A and B are shown apart, each in its own frame.
Chain A
Amino acid sequence: MAKDDLGLARVRVRAAWLFLAPTLAVLAAVAGWPLLRTVWFSFTDAELIELENYRFIGFANYLEYYEGEWLGLLADPQWWRAVWRTVWFAAVSVSIEAVLGMVVALALNARFPLRGLVRAAILIPWAIPTIVSARMWAWMLNDQFGVINHALLAIGAIDAPVAWMADPDLAMWAVVIVDVWKTTPFVALLILAALQMLPADCYEAARVDGIHPIRVFFRVTLPLIRPALVVALVFRALDALRVFDLIYVLTANASGTQSMSVYARQQLVDFQDVGYGSAASTLLFLVIALLTLSVVLLGRLRLEGESAR
Chain B
Amino acid sequence: MADVELRGVRKRFDGTQVIRDVDLRIGDGEFCVFVGPSGCGKSTLLRLVAGLESVSAGSVHIGGEDVTARPPRERGIAMVFQSYALYPHMTVRENIAFGLEMGRARRAEIDARVRDVAGKLELAPLLDRLPKQLSGGQRQRVAIGRAIVREPKVFLFDEPLSNLDASLRVQMRIEIARLHQSMRSTMIYVTHDQVEAMTLADRIVVLNAGRVEQAGAPVELYRHPRNIFVAGFIGSTRMNFLAVRAEGGSEGTVAVSLPGGARLDVPVAGAGARPGEALTLGIRPEHVRLAGDGAALSGPVEVVEELGDEQLAYLRASDGTLLTARIPEGVRLREGQPGRFHLPPAACHLFREDGTALPRPRTDERD
Binding site for B on A (CB under 8 A): 199, 201-202, 204-212, 215, 219-220, 223-224
Contact = CB atoms under 8 A, between A and B. Distances in A.
Contacts, number: 58
B52 A207 contact: yes
Contacts of A219: 87, 98
Contacts of A208: 50-52, 72-73, 77-79
A66 B84 CA distance: 73
Contacts of A204: 52, 79, 81, 85
Interface string B79-111: 101011111110000000011001000000000
A212 B72 CA distance: 12
8 contacts: A199-B85, A202-B88, A207-B52, A207-B71, A207-B73, A209-B78, A209-B102, A210-B74
Nearest to A210: B73
B287 interface: no
A210 B85 contact: no
A87 B78 CA distance: 50
Contacts of B99: 209-211
Given A201-B83, A219-B98, A209 B150 contact: yes
Contacts of B51: 208
Interface residues of B, number: 23
Which 4 pairs between the two chains have the least Cβ-Cβ distance?
A210-B73, A209-B99, A201-B85, A205-B85
A136 B11 CA distance: 52
Contacts of B50: 208
B81 A205 contact: yes
A224 B150 contact: no
Contacts of B85: 199, 201-202, 204-205
Interface centre among B52, B74, B85, B99 (most CB of A within 10 A): B85
Contacts of A223: 89
A215 B72 CA distance: 16
A211 B87 contact: no
Contacts of B73: 207-211
A224 B72 contact: no
Contacts of B86: 202
Contact of B102 (A202, A211, A220, A224): A211
Nearest to B52: A204
Interface string B37-51: 000000000000011
B327 to A, nearest CB: 45
A206 B79 CA distance: 10
Given A199-B88, A204-B52, A212 B83 contact: no
Nearest to A211: B102
Contacts of B78: 208-209
A306 to B, nearest CB: 9
Contact of A224 (B77, B79, B83, B88): B88
